[in-house]
Amino acid sequence: MQMAEVRESIDVNVPVSTAYNQWTQFEEFPTFMEGVKSVTQIDDTHLRWVAEVGGKTHEWEAEITEQVPDKLIAWRSVDGKGVDGAVMFEHDGPDRTGIDVHFKWDSDGMLESLGSALGIDNRRVKGDLERFRERIERQGVESGAWRGEVHAGDKAS
């Protein structure tokens, strides 16, 4: 099994809490991520993704494994049929945030097609991040927030 991966970064001109809070609005991902048809939050640590792959719809579940407000959100595909990854947030000043994303997936067979169709390549991810930046800078405020923590897949009290 071969793993493929991509890393991209962007700076956004909003406070780190605003960028992080917006990113926790998972169900809004289709507004800036190409290929993603829907993301449904099942509970605090599970998401159901629907994406179009080669003209076909594919679904998978992801589990949030780590979530630390204003720092990190990491997830893994529950059944290995999706994309694992992390997004890290870095405070670069009162109104500036660095965002780093890292995605990886099984590049053999169907998952190679999935990664390609979702644009899990540097060019597509860069475009997704640009659309996120345009949206959050235009809004100036997040559309919602979830400030809870998750460690080793368990929600912290």
Distance CA 70, CA 57 (A): 33
Q: Which residues contact 99 (CB under 8 A, 6 or more apart)?
A: 9, 10, 11, 12, 19, 23, 87, 88, 89, 90, 129, 132
Number of domains in the chain: 1
Structural domain of 63:
3-140
The pLDDT tens digits for 22-60 are 999 999 999 999 889 999 999 999 999 998 766 778 888
Evaluate whether residue 150 is within a structural domain. Answer: no
Evaluate whether residue 88 is within a structural domain. Answer: yes
- What values do phi and psi take at 119, rounded to 5? 75, 30
Evaluate whether residue 149 is within a structural domain. Answer: no
Helix (H) or strand (E) holding 128: helix 122-139
Short-list 89, 126, 123, CA closest to 14? 89
Strand partners, 41: 47
Evaluate whether residue 41 is within a structural domain. Answer: yes
pLDDT band per the 50, 70, 90 thresholds, residue 105: confident
User: What CATH number is associated with residue 61?
Assistant: 3.30.530.20
pLDDT at 52: 76
Distance CA 76, CA 132 (A): 22
Helix (H) or strand (E) holding 62: strand 56-68
One-letter amino acid of 124: R
Evaluate whether residue 157 is within a structural domain. Answer: no
The pLDDT tens digits for 122-149 are 788 899 999 999 999 999 999 988 888 9
